[in-house]
């Protein structure tokens, strides 16, 4: 099947309520029984057909009452307020998992587990990321604030670097693992101070991650 030619590439930050390392990354069950996460990206290079996406941001807040594969999840997409109507439509199509080979991207896989998708919001998004240092921050004022930092050795308090490679992953091929915090209010509440985080360069097409 032919899909619209699209591509997004740039830094991505993810933080979730699991313990650092996140058993979900290894096909395990979530630390606390449920799964809640906040994800953000800055698109340095991107397009959807002839629609340019360079420089735009998106945020996705997600939650499931149990493990992700058990379903009944909910999602709140937030699109950069600077995006015009065509760019908004393009980003929402990508985030919804449409125009994607089945199971090829995290967007398509997660979409199959949602029973509630909240109306998208178009808001200013603050974003910064230093992947090598495992330091990042993103915020949608009045909705979500999240940050990441390096895992610290409990004795020396020095940064403890962990990099995970997933040759067949549907989100990334390689990511720096970190710790993170997030706090968000209605309609999808999030609240943790020392959860899992990972940072990566997302380079995604309709057929999955590149690299």
Report the DSSP pairing between strands 162-165 and 174-184: antiparallel
Kindly state whether residue 132 falls inside one of the protein's structural domains. Answer: yes
Q: Is the pTM of this model over 0.85?
A: yes
Kindly state whether residue 136 falls inside one of the protein's structural domains. Answer: yes
Tell me which residue range forms the domain holding 186.
6-209
Kindly state whether residue 160 falls inside one of the protein's structural domains. Answer: yes
Kindly state whether residue 1 falls inside one of the protein's structural domains. Answer: no
> How far is it, in rounded angstroms, from Cα 84 to Cα 66?
36
pLDDT at 127: 98
pLDDT at 2: 85
> How far is it, in rounded angstroms, from Cα 196 to Cα 19?
5
Kindly state whether residue 14 falls inside one of the protein's structural domains. Answer: yes
Kindly state whether residue 20 falls inside one of the protein's structural domains. Answer: yes
pLDDT at 89: 98
Kindly state whether residue 148 falls inside one of the protein's structural domains. Answer: yes
Count of positions (residues) in the chain = 211
Number of independent structural domains in the chain:
1
pLDDT tens for each residue of 20-49:
999 999 999 999 999 999 999 999 999 999
């Amino acid at each position: 099947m032919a899909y619209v030619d699209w591509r997004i590439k740039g830094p991505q930050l993810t933080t979730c309520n699991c313990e650092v390392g996140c058993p979900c990354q290894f096909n395990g069950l979530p630390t606390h029984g449920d799964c809640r996460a906040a994800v953000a990206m800055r698109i340095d290079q991107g397009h959807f057909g002839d629609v340019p996406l360079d420089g735009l941001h998106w945020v996705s807040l997600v939650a499931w009452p149990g493990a992700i594969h058990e379903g009944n999840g909910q999602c709140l997409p937030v699109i950069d307020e600077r995006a015009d109507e065509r760019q908004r439509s393009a980003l929402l199509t990508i985030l919804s998992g449409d125009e994607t080979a089945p199971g090829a991207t995290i967007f398509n896989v997660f979409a199959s587990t949602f029973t509630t998708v909240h109306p998208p919001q178009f808001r200013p998004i603050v974003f910064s990321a230093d992947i090598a240092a495992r330091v990042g921050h993103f915020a949608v004022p009045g909705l979500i604030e999240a940050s990441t930092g390096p895992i610290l050795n409990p004795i020396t308090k020095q940064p403890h670097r962990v990099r995970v490679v997933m040759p067949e992953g549907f989100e990334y091929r390689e990511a720096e693992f970190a710790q993170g915090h997030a706090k968000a209010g209605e309609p999808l509440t999030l609240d943790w101070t020392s959860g899992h985080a990972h940072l990566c360069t997302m380079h995604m097409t309709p057929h999955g991650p590149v690299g």
